[in-house]
């Protein structure tokens, strides 16, 4: 029986340029796998793409 749960990734960045790179990574991953969830620590760019940030930067 195939696993129907979405892919779940934890991403962490600590400054604005990391937020931009993280957002690019999120877009690339989502292009390959639409059923993906992102958790971690990020800024507005990553949050804008769906990151559930545990602590905003």
Give the domain ranges of the chain: 7-53
Longest dimension (CA), the chain: 42
Tens-binned pLDDT, residue by residue, of the chain (57 aa): 567 899 999 999 999 999 999 999 999 999 999 999 999 999 999 999 999 999 878
Q: Give pTM, 2 decimals.
A: 0.89
Q: Burial, 19: exposed, middle or buried (Cβ in 10 Å; 0-12, 13-18, 19+)?
A: buried
């Amino acid at each position: 029986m195939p696993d129907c749960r979405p892919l779940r990734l934890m991403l962490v960045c600590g400054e604005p340029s990391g937020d931009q790179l993280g957002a690019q990574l999120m877009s690339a991953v989502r292009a390959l796998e639409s059923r993906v969830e992102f958790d971690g620590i990020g800024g507005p760019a990553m949050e804008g793409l769906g990151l559930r940030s545990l602590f905003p930067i």
